[in-house]
Amino acid sequence: MLENRETMLQMFPELFAKVPVREVGDYPINLLKSLSACAPPMCGGTPTVAVLTPGIHNSAYFEHSFLADQMGAELVEGHDLRVVDGRVAMRTTQGYRAIDVLYRRVDDDFLDPLNFRPDSMLGVPGIWDVYRAGGITIANAPGTGIADDKALYSYMPDIIEFYTGEKALLPNVPTWRCSEPEHLREVLDRLPELVVKEVHGSGGYGMLVGPAASRKEIAAFRAKLEANPGNYIAQPTLSLSTVPIFTKKGLAPRHVDLRPFVLMSPQGITITPGGLTRVAMTRGSLVVNSSQGGGTKDTWVLED
């Protein structure tokens, strides 16, 4: 998001002179404020924030180092950290120094080899115990990955109503949970027109886009679905919006979706006036994921 804006500013400065586009540049500072606001009670004074990365071989390493740099926070790996006197501390040139808030970009399973996957080289032995004793804030909290479960999405209207007592303002995409027999029956009947996704899937892998699939692919997917229905949800094939992109043959429409950047802390919710627009680079494709060659675009929110 930030690099896209930077690139646009360099290539089309005149556009920004004419159009009142809202700033996204303070996202890192807002992120730092949100993280600092989550510091545990054990923290005295200004919270020490660090970003935990799996390391330079991770595909998102650039983003991790960029955010750490912009926040002025240390970028740490598991082997920089250890538990010292009941706190998680990083090894500095002057000795171990306690960390109050760890913005972690390492999956739950890998966080602590003593408590989760014993083969993890990316985590910190014992961090889970410090966390449970309130010695460190881990953001996002372990377990929040459940929000990535695509079946959870189908409950969103109910969740919103439960917590706010109000109906959701934005309608949900109708979603069938294949774990439920009557849903499954309907999905199997209408397979060629639906999109079916794995509940734990990500990156646009392991999914069926019915209208774009061959008969053979649909038959193969039907078998997988019948074998393990609880692993899937289905949705109608959405006609994602398109935006023009520049191809070798000139301007052409491509499908997009939007990744908003929303920060939540005890101080409140901050919505970044911009975001990451993800673009499917192949004509007609609905797969916008960067791991499958998707592109991105700068996204503007205009001043009133």
Tell me: does residue 69 bind another protein (CB under 8 A).
yes
Q: Which one among 76, 89, 195, 207 touches another protein, defined by CB under 8 A?
A: 76
The reply to whether 91 sits near another protein by the rule CB under 8 A is yes
Shortest spacing between CB 94 and another protein, in angstroms: 6
Strand-by-strand arrangement of the 74-76 sheet = 74-76, 49-52, 101-104, 137-139
Q: For residue 10, state whether it binds another protein (rule: CB under 8 A).
A: no
The CA–CA distances, whole Å, from 288 to 7, 193, 259, 266, 285 equal 20, 19, 11, 33, 8
Answer whether 196's CB lies under 8 Å from 232's CB: yes
Residue among 64 and 183 whose Cβ is closer to another protein: 64
CA count, 13 A, side-chain hemisphere, 236: 6
Contacting residues for 57 by C-beta, under 8 A, at least 6 apart? none
Binding another protein (rule: CB under 8 A), the pick from 40, 47, 63, 82 is 82
Query: Residue 61 interacts with another protein (CB under 8 A)?
Result: yes
Among 46, 94, 164, 239, binds another protein (CB under 8 A): 94
Of 13-21, 71-79, 148-156, 211-219, the window that binds another protein (rule: CB under 8 A) is 71-79
Judged by beta carbon, residue 76 or residue 136, the one nearer another protein is 76
Least distance to another protein, CB of residue 120, Å: 17
At its nearest, how many Å lie between another protein and the CB of residue 295? Answer: 22
Q: Judged by CB under 8 A, which of 12, 15, 22, 92 binds another protein?
A: 92
68 sits near another protein (criterion: CB under 8 A): yes
Query: Rounded to the nearest whole angstrom, what is the least distance from the CB of residue 77 to another protein in the complex?
Result: 7
Stretch in the footprint of another protein (CB under 8 A) among 31-39, 65-73, 113-121, 242-250: 65-73
Give the binding site for another protein (CB under 8 A).
55-56, 61, 65, 68-69, 74-77, 79-80, 82, 90-95
